[in-house]
Amino acid sequence: MTIFARWLQRLLQHSASPREAPAIQLDDDGLTQVMRNGEVHTVHWNELAEVSIVTTDDGPLADDVFWVLSGERERCVVPGSAEVIGRLLRRLQALPGFRNDAVIDAMGSSGRARFVCWQRDTAH
């Protein structure tokens, strides 16, 4: 099991229901996630390095789609059932080269998979 898979598994264990899910704030600066234990994680838009979607085989009775925003220093995982998902998707779709086809593929997945929707162009 990869480090990321173990990290996601720990997150899922601590976010078993919407009542227990992390609080998520979305604004012009970035996305901030406040965990139940008080930890705060923020990914600023200007530091965003990758957007991916991780799917699990836990559905349909549990969250099985997670948006992963990886920054230069932080990573936030947003459950697909979060209230901010519509606003988040619109914000992410404005990124140059954002792959809507990866979103569609992820939404059709019923197993454990990772779909990269966007990566910062490091060629500059």
Residue-wise pLDDT for 28-53, tens only, equals: 999 999 988 889 999 999 999 999 99
Instruction: Map out the domains of the chain as residue ranges.
Output: 3-119
Q: Check pLDDT > 70 for residue 15.
A: no
Q: Which of the pair, 106 or 62, is modelled with greater confidence?
A: 106
User: What one-letter code names the amino acid at 60?
Assistant: P
Please state, as a whole number, how many other Cβ atoms lie within 10 Å of the Cβ of residue 52.
19
C-beta separation of 49 from 64 below 8 A: no
Partnered with residue 55 across adjacent β-strands are 65, 113
Within 10 angstroms of residue 45's Cβ, the number of other Cβ atoms is 16
How far apart are the C-alpha atoms of 18 and 13, rounded to whole Å?
12
Could you tell me the pTM of the whole model?
A: 0.80
Look over the chain and give the mean of its residue pLDDT values, rounded to a whole number.
Answer: 84
DSSP string, the chain: --HHHHHHHHHHHH--SGGGSPEEEE-SSEEEEE-TTS-EEEEEGGGEEEEEEEE-S--SSS--EEEEEEESS-EEEEETT-TTHHHHHHHHHTSTT--HHHHHHHHT--SSEEEEEEE-----
